């Protein structure tokens, strides 16, 4: 077994590999970029070597620098994680030439499976079923257009050299094909250095089911059951689970054996995943759903979602990787691998689901994880590579963490996942935590009616939903404000600035913005010390009618941990909430209040009298960047007349392209940046008359 390995990656996967290595008594070396100098994965390893600038091409993709780091530290092997160099055959070959073990498959297997078109041809020879499509070497755009027209729409354009949803577009009609092709080719070139694509029939009601395979140097190969990864956005996975709902033993065996045949076709060694698209068809005779599967691709690395397989098999796949790479045989044979219970993984990402999942960057002001979590297998597991106070930069993928739960049944796993998500708090940047809870509660996911169109199909219940009502959220914010004042000023009523009077009654106004609308909460102080709360213009000073009794108390501490939870009673209802304030702009006390409850979370903006200064700018017709990133291209020039919805520019952030469209009709007056420029969120891109 190795004594020391270098981990050529960052974030949660670097921390995850380091955890297994530490348990096995193996020393670890981290590499890091300028942006990651103080990151969690650096602290998790025994040694750390700086390898370059913040952009991946200047650091984590500089395999020469990584090899030098391995030699300098005496590492015997390199674990590439996933992404970056994990599927780069040149890097695998370079490791071998340098006398280092690449903890992954042979370079020949990476090459064979790395190009989707060639791998399809290999799979056809191996007898693995394929989706109808074009996998040829001729990349003439006119030929590709003709092939797409021949296959019939909708079609899927896919980068031949990569994965992870990059360089992939679904095209509904012929006239949209050329623009989608150009975008895919750019994204493929930027991500993989190869703009070749393939065209496939877009399967209706598809499920994405993948099989985990493992091979060793003695010629053994097994499958470790399946994972269902059908819940996706932008062709990237959101939730993954094992086993796949509705999977029969016969179909599992058929798919598993096909996956092993695919691996054997390239003499595979180590951890790999064979991905299948599964077509669902209603069988009128039986009333059941028939499932036919087709080979999509093979990922020649460890997958992001490998923890769900670990949970249901009780195995550590990184340990298997290390043992196989050091020359040991597979620890188990096929008939010794068993499934136990049900596991689900949720990817927690820095993104705004309500704004087309645009990536977000920022400072993790609050980063609270669910309770009872650890790396070890168990009921709840939380894998991450960040800590509270860290900054999420625009240079890398938007994934912040992975939340994995394991229960006896799918229903139990769903309940555990929802509970754990309710305990997860992210403040300082947009995240998808509440969106994930919406997915868990959606009818399609709860009832396991899965396919890759689940998110758009359930859009009405997934997006722009405030699961905590304005009334409850406002009451929590008012209670938090009063509690903060008590903590700062003591309990002397004459020292307060809350309009308290020694006689009669008085009221206090709390202007708030909730879900884009302005509201006013009124707090009435009684001469007997009681408080009443209501809202609306009719509830102001002198208003008649009943007010609702209002009180609050600090929640109890949990174990040795103090809590900032408030038990708020209003309208006879007691709600336990936590409120975290995020500072407003211009140094104003106007703040964004994040309200967390067991039923969900929401945000309320406290409106300060001076806050109008922030929005007092005249509308100048400028179009601003919706996120930080790089300008890829402009689709217009000065003087062009544009229509609402027309593409104006393309930006790239967190390794994905995003199209910027005109919000209204107008004329382009000025382009304020050039392709290749890095710009901040909110920066003015161009001016429209």
CB 588 within 8 A of CB 612: no
CA distances from 528 to 110, 500, 531, 542, 552 (A): 76, 12, 9, 18, 16
CB 11 within 8 A of CB 385: yes
Q: Please confirm, yes or no, whether 16 is among the known catalytic residues.
A: no
Cβ proximity of 2 and 101 under 8 Å: yes
Q: Are 145 and 171 in contact (CB under 8 A)?
A: no
Nearest-angstrom CA–CA distance, 41 and 12: 7
> Torsion-angle region of residue 161: left (phi > 0), alpha (psi -120 to 50) or beta?
alpha
Answer yes or no: are the C-beta atoms of 169 and 211 closer than 8 Å.
Answer: no
* Residues found in the chain: 689
Distance CA 484, CA 503 (A): 24
Nearest by Cα to 605 from 588, 594, 592, 615: 592
**8-state DSSP, 370:** P
Residue showing tokens 């990864």 = 229
Contact in structure between 380 and 392 (CB atoms under 8 Å): no
Catalytic residue from among 301, 437, 449, 603: 301
Sequence-distant (≥ 6) Cβ neighbours of residue 22 within 8 angstroms = 28
Q: Cα(245)–Cα(253) distance, rounded to whole angstroms?
A: 15
Task: Report the alpha-carbon distance of residue 534 to residue 520 in Å, rounded.
Answer: 9
Task: Return the sign of the alpha-carbon dihedral for residues 32, 37, 40, 42.
Answer: positive
CB 72 within 8 Å of CB 53: no
DSSP secondary structure letters along 19-68? HHHHHTT-EEEEEEEGGGTT-HHHHHSSEEEEEE-SSGGGTTT-HHHHHH
Helices and strands in the chain, H and E counts: 17, 39
Residue with tokens 């890398």: 396
- Alpha helices (runs of H) in 314-359, residue ranges in sequence order: 317-325
Name the CA radius of gyration of the chain, rounded: 28
Question: What's the CA gap between 316 and 329, in Å, rounded?
Answer: 15
- C-alpha 584/C-alpha 604 separation (Å) is 12
Sheet with 656-661: list strands edge to edge.
656-661, 647-653, 629-634, 678-679
**Number of Cβ within a 10 Å radius of residue 397:** 20
- Sequence-distant (6+) residues with CB within 8 A of 288 are none
Q: Specify whether the CB–CB gap between 609 and 594 falls below 8 A.
A: no
- Which H, E and C letters describe 531-555, residue by residue? EEEEECHHHCCCCCCCCEEEEEEEC
Report, as residue numbers or ranges, the catalytic residues.
301
């Amino acid at each position: 077994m190795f004594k020391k390995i270098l981990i050529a990656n960052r974030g949660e996967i670097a921390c995850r590999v380091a955890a297994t290595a530490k348990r096995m008594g193996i020393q670890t070396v981290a590499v890091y970029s300028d942006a990651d100098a103080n990151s969690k994965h650096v602290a998790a390893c025994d040694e750390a070597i700086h390898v370059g600038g913040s952009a991946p091409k200047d650091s984590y993709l500089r395999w020469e620098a990584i090899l030098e780091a391995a030699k300098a530290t005496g590492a015997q092997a390199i674990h590439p994680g996933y992404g970056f160099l994990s599927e780069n055959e040149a890097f695998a070959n370079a490791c071998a030439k340098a006398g280092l073990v690449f903890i992954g498959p042979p370079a020949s297997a990476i090459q064979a499976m790395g190009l989707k078109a060639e791998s399809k041809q290999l799979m056809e020879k191996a007898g693995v079923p394929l989706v109808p499509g074009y996998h040829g070497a001729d990349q003439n755009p006119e030929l590709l257009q003709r092939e797409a027209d021949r296959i019939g729409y909708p079609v899927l354009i896919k980068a031949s050299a990569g994965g992870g949803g990059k360089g992939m577009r679904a095209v509904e009609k012929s006239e949209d094909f050329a623009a989608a092709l150009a975008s895919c080719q750019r994204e493929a070139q930027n991500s993989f250095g190869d703009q070749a694509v393939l065209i496939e029939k877009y399967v209706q009601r598809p499920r994405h089911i993948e099989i985990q395979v493992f091979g060793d140097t003695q010629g053994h190969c097994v499958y470790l059951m399946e994972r269902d990864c059908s819940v996706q956005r932008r062709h990237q996975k959101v939730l993954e689970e094992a086993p796949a709902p509705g999977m029969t033993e016969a179909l599992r065996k058929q798919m598993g054996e096909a996956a092993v045949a695919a691996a054997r076709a390239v003499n595979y060694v180590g951890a790999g995943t064979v991905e299948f698209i599964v077509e669902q068809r209603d069988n009128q005779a039986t009333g059941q759903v028939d499932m036919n599967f087709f080979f999509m691709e093979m990922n020649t690395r460890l997958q992001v979602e490998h923890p769900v397989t670990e949970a249901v098999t009780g195995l550590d796949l990184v340990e298997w990787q290390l043992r196989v790479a050091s020359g040991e045989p597979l620890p188990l044979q096929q008939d010794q691998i068993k499934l136990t219970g049900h596991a689900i993984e949720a990817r927690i990402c820095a993104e705004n689901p309500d704004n087309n999942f645009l990536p977000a960057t920022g400072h993790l002001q609050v980063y609270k994880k669910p309770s009872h979590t650890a790396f070890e297998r168990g009921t709840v597991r939380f894998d991450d590579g960040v800590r509270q106070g860290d900054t999420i930069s625009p240079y890398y993928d938007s994934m912040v963490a992975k939340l994995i739960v394991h229960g006896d049944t799918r229903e139990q796993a769903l309940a555990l996942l929802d509970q754990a998500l309710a305990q997860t708090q992210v403040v300082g940047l947009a995240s998808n935590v509440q969106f994930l809870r919406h997915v868990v509660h959606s009818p399609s996911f709860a009832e396991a009616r899965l396919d890759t169109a689940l998110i758009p199909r359930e859009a009405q219940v997934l997006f722009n939903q405030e699961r905590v009502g304005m009334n409850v959220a406002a009451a929590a914010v008012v209670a938090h404000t009063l509690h903060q004042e008590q903590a700062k000023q003591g309990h002397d009523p004459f020292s307060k600035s809350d309009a308290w009077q020694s006689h009669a009654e008085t009221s206090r106004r709390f202007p708030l913005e909730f879900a884009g609308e302005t509201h006013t909460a009124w707090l009435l102080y009684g001469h007997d010390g009681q408080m009443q709360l209501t809202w609306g213009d009719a509830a102001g000073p002198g208003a008649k009618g009943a007010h609702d009794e209002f009180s609050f108390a600090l929640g109890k501490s949990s174990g040795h941990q103090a809590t900032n939870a408030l038990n708020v009673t209003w309208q006879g209802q007691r709600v336990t909430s936590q409120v975290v304030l995020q500072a407003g702009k211009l140094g104003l006390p106007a703040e964004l209040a994040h309200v967390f409850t067991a039923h969900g979370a929401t945000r309320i903006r406290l409106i300060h009298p001076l806050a109008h200064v922030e929005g007092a700018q005249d509308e100048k017709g400028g179009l601003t960047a919706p996120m930080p990133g790089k300008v890829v291209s402009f689709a217009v020039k000065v003087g062009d007349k544009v229509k609402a919805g027309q593409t104006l520019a393309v930006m790239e952030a967190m390794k994905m392209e995003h199209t910027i469209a005109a919000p209204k009709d107008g004329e382009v007056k000025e382009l304020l940046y050039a392709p290749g420029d890095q710009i901040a969120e909110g920066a003015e891109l161009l001016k429209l008359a």
